[in-house]
Each structure stands twice: as structure tokens, then as C-alpha cells.
């Protein structure tokens, strides 16, 4: 009789091995955050894509266009610090769910605007509702990821900006063309956002220990890696001390410079391509998609390079300063060349390269957890985003005034070059080493 006991033995052993393999819930959480951030930018970029039609319907001047484009950023920026405080005090999961449903409602209501004032009001509401999302990503970065994963986590969350802008251009332009109505396009986008918000609330948890899908191996992996990084310190950060830190202040200033470039391109690039290079709405949507998709791909690659470089022994200061300075320098050069290039195809190619590299600076979103620890990641992330989005209030208006009074986009492009050099400067003043703060 054939003995089958030896043949049957490996099955339980294999099952035990599988049971000890860490789950990957943390990366599913950050893929959901990527989706939320992308939808965030689809909704906020929808106005830029539809602006030529809205401007004609409401008879807007360039300065009025800039005012409406900036309206979102007023409330979004002012709500960043309160949002960060709420995230540090209450459950991240519930705030994410409520915020997403809220901004979807405002996006849908924008489709019913009957003049520029009501449109502006819906944009202000959109800014209030969207304000907690990015600080929530910083908060979850500290709770869910290890030090050698934070770069990828940060770029996944921040990567929603170029991804959402890219698909927003295609989706909104496609909906406008299909239904021959920017209003219907806004309503569809808003309802879709609400549905995704409900799903995100259902899956996301505040900490790995609370998630039913996280196994013991993944929980141990996260806790042990962060315990090694803390080196037994674990003290809570003091906000007053943080706000006096050179690294924190440089983080605020660097992120403001970064957003000056990105938000300037986000709000005005479609109009620039339409007016300066005679692209129609379909061609404009396609070019915007290509440019911002390059930004999304570049951001993911940048986060992967940084984490792998650090995991192989690279010092955090060497890794981050090199990557931030190099990416900002390439972006500055490309935008400078755009200012002197009359050919539309070359302009689009240069903007693709500029976005590919400057989006490496999305790794700024791993800094609140590094500099402030888990207990202050929300307020630091909110404060950083406040500084970054105050320029979102000012830059669209400034660019509108420059275009209106000079009749061209040349000085606007030079402004973006100067901001890229500011990004290089301030990024070099930050100490990127782990503090081990709780």
C-alpha cells in the first residue's frame, strides 16, 4: 500500500507560510486615496476645461476669469489648518467620507449656476469640502507606512493631482462634447464623486490595527519598521517648537513655490494652449491629458526612486535634496524654453517633460509625518497645504492680470521659472531625517 502521509504533509506547511505572508491593505488604502485625489482634481479642473464656454455665456473678462478660477482656493486654503486640527483629533475615515460626499454635491450644484456669482459660490463650497483630503493623506502616511515606503505613499496621494487633471480634461471635454452642455458634465462628475466617497468611507480605517483585512504579519511589519525608525524615542512633537523649525518653515515655503508652478499651469494652461497656439477644445483636452499624465507617471517614478535609493543605504538628506533640486531645475529650463517656442507640438513636449520632473516634489507630502510625527502630521500637513494654496488664491488672479495688461503669456511663464528656482532653494534647507516622533 502506498504511503500518502508524506505527500499530504506539505499542504498545511504551505498554508502556514501563506498565512504569515503580510497582506497589502496599506497599498489598497493608498490606491483609494489616489482615486480620491484624482477625482478631487477632476472636479476642480473641470472649470478650467469648460472656461471658454462659461466665459462666453457669462461674458467674463480675463480678470473675472482669474477671480472665479481662484475662488476655490480661497476657502480651500483657509480651511487647511482647521481641517488638519480636526484630523489630529477625530477619525480620519469619517472626515474623508463626509468631505468627499460634500464636494460631490457642490460640483453637481455648479451645473445649475445661472450667473458668475452663483458659480463662484459653488466653487467656494467645493474648496471647503475638499480641504481635508490631502492632510488626511499625510496623516495616514504616518499611521500606515514604513519610512522606506513613505515616498511612494506620498506620490500616490499627490499623484492624484496630475492624474485627475489629465483625465479631467478628457472626461469633462468628452462629456461637454457628448451632451453639448458643460452643465450636464458638472452634474455627472458630482454624482460620481458622491458614489466613490461612500465606497472610500466603507474601506478606509484610521490605523492598521482597526482594519479587518490586515493580518498579523502586515501589522507587525508596519509596527516594527516604525519602532526601529523611532529608536525608542516616541515623544510627541510640540507644535510651537515645530513652527520655529527651519525645516518646517522651509517646507511651507518650498511647497508654496511648487504649487505656484503647478496651480498656475493647472488653471491657465488650457486657456494658454487655446489662445496662444489656437488649439480647439478637443485638441486642448488631448494636450492637457498628455501633459498631466506625464506628470502622474513622473511622480510615481520619483517616489519609487527615492524609496529604493533610501532602502539601499542612501542618506535621506542626499536623496531628497538631490531629487527635489534636480527636478525643479529641469522644470525651470523646460518652461523657459516654452516662453520662446512658437511651435505648439514642441510646447506640449516641453510641458510634458516639465510636469514629469516637477511632480517628483509631490514627495513633500511625506514630510509632515517625518517632521511632526503621527500626532502632528494632520496640522503640519494642513498648514503646509494652507501655504501652498494661498498661492492658489493669488496666482490665477496674478496670471489673469498679466495676460490682460500685457496681451501675452510670456511674463506668466517667466514667473513660473522663478518659482521653480525658489523650490530648489527652500528644498535644500530641509532636514529629511526621521525624528522618531509619536
CATH number of 402's domain:
1.20.1250.20
Integer CA distances (angstroms), 216 to 202, 388, 401, in order:
21, 38, 57
Q: How many Å apart are CA 111 and CA 429, to the nearest integer?
A: 45
Q: How many Å apart are CA 67 and CA 147, to the nearest integer?
A: 41
> 194 with 103: CB under 8 angstroms?
no
Q: What pTM was computed for the model? A: 0.75
Mean pLDDT, residues 50-56: 84
pLDDT tens, position by position, 300-313: 999 999 989 988 98
Q: How many Å apart are CA 395 and CA 361, to the nearest integer?
A: 19
In this prediction, residue 191 has a pLDDT band, given cuts at 50, 70 and 90, of very high
Mean pLDDT, residues 273-278: 81
pLDDT tens, position by position, 315-351: 989 999 999 999 999 999 999 999 898 888 899 999 9
Whether 148 is covered by a domain: the verdict is yes
Residue ranges with strand state E in 183-247: none
Residue ranges with strand state E in 278-335: none
pLDDT tens, position by position, 346-395: 999 999 999 999 999 989 988 888 888 777 777 888 889 888 878 877 88
Structural Rg of the chain based on CA atoms: 23
C-alpha cell at 342: 512658437
Integer CA distances (angstroms), 418 to 103, 148, 167, in order:
33, 32, 28
- Which H helix or E strand runs over 375? helix 367-406
Whether 401 is covered by a domain: the verdict is yes
> 176 with 281: CB under 8 angstroms?
yes
Whether 408 is covered by a domain: the verdict is yes
Of the candidates 41, 45, 40, the residue with the CA atom closest to the CA atom of residue 268: 45
- Please state, rounded to an integer, the average pLDDT across all residues of the chain: 84
> 113 with 119: CB under 8 angstroms?
yes
pLDDT tens, position by position, 194-215: 999 999 999 998 888 889 998 8
Predicted confidence at residue 13, as pLDDT, reads: 42
pLDDT tens, position by position, 4-17: 444 444 444 434 44
> 166 with 289: CB under 8 angstroms?
yes
Predicted confidence at residue 6, as pLDDT, reads: 40
Predicted confidence at residue 344, as pLDDT, reads: 87
Whether 240 is covered by a domain: the verdict is yes
Q: Is a pLDDT exceeding 80 seen at residue 3?
A: no
Integer CA distances (angstroms), 19 to 13, 23, 187, 216, in order:
10, 9, 45, 9
Q: How many residues does the chain have?
A: 438
Helix (H/G/I), strand (E/B), else coil: 180? coil
Whether 10 is covered by a domain: the verdict is no
Whether 290 is covered by a domain: the verdict is yes
Whether 265 is covered by a domain: the verdict is yes
Domain total of the chain: 1
Whether 438 is covered by a domain: the verdict is no
Provide the domain limits for residue 162.
24-427
Predicted confidence at residue 11, as pLDDT, reads: 45
Residue holding cell 514667473? 415
Instruction: Calculate the CA 349 to chain-centre distance.
Output: 22
Amino acid at each position: 500500500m502506498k504511503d500518502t502521509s508524506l505527500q499530504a504533509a506539505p499542504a498545511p506547511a504551505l498554508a502556514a507560510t501563506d498565512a504569515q505572508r503580510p497582506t497589502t491593505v496599506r497599498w489598497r488604502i493608498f490606491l483609494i486615496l489616489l482615486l480620491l485625489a484624482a477625482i478631487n482634481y477632476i472636479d476642480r479642473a473641470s472649470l478650467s476645461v469648460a472656461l471658454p464656454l462659461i466665459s462666453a455665456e457669462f461674458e467674463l473678462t480675463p480678470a473675472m476669469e482669474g477671480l472665479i478660477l481662484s475662488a476655490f482656493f480661497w476657502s480651500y486654503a483657509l480651511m487647511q489648518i482647521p481641517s488638519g486640527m480636526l484630523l489630529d483629533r477625530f477619525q480620519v475615515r469619517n472626515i474623508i467620507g463626509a468631505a468627499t460626499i460634500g464636494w460631490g454635491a457642490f460640483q453637481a450644484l455648479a451645473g445649475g449656476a445661472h450667473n458668475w456669482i452663483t458659480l463662484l459660490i459653488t466653487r467656494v463650497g467645493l474648496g471647503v469640502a475638499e480641504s481635508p483630503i490631502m492632510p488626511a493623506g499625510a496623516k495616514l502616511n504616518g499611521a500606515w507606512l514604513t519610512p522606506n515606503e513613505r515616498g511612494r505613499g506620498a506620490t500616490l496621494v499627490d499623484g492624484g493631482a496630475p492624474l485627475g487633471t489629465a483625465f479631467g480634461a478628457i472626461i469633462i471635454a468628452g462629456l461637454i462634447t457628448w451632451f453639448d452642455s458643460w452643465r450636464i458634465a458638472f452634474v455627472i462628475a458630482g454624482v460620481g464623486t458622491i458614489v466613490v466617497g461612500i465606497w472610500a468611507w466603507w474601506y478606509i480605517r484610521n490605523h492598521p490595527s482597526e482594519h479587518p483585512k490586515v493580518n498579523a504579519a502586515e501589522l507587525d511589519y508596519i509596527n516594527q519598521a516604525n519602532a526601529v525608525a523611532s529608536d525608542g524615542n516616541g515623544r510627541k512633537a510640540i507644535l510651537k517648537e515645530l513652527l520655529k523649525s527651519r525645516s518646517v518653515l522651509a517646507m511651507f515655503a518650498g511647497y508654496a513655490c511648487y504649487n505656484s508652478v503647478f496651480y498656475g499651469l493647472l488653471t491657465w494652461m488650457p486657456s494658454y494652449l487655446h489662445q496662444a497656439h489656437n488649439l480647439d477644445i478637443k485638441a486642448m483636452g488631448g494636450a492637457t491629458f498628455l501633459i498631466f499624465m506625464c506628470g502622474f507617471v513622473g511622480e510615481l517614478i520619483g517616489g519609487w526612486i527615492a524609496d529604493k535609493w533610501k532602502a539601499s543605504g542612501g542618506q535621506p538628506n542626499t536623496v531628497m535634496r538631490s531629487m527635489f533640486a534636480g527636478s525643479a531645475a529641469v522644470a525651470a529650463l523646460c518652461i523657459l524654453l516654452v516662453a520662446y517656442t512658437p511651435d505648439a507640438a514642441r510646447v506640449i513636449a516641453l510641458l510634458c517633460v516639465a510636469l514629469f520632473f516637477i511632480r517628483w516634489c509631490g514627495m513633500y507630502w511625506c514630510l509632515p509625518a517625518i517632521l511632526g510625527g503621527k500626532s502632528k502630521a494632520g496640522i503640519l500637513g494642513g498648514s503646509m497645504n494652507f501655504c501652498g494654496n494661498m498661492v492658489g488664491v493669488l496666482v490665477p488672479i496674478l496670471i489673469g492680470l498679466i495676460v490682460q495688461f500685457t496681451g501675452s503669456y510670456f511674463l506668466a511663464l517667466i514667473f513660473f521659472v522663478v518659482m521653480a528656482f525658489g523650490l530648489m532653494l527652500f528644498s535644500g534647507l530641509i532636514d529629511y531625517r526621521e525624528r522618531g516622533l509619536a
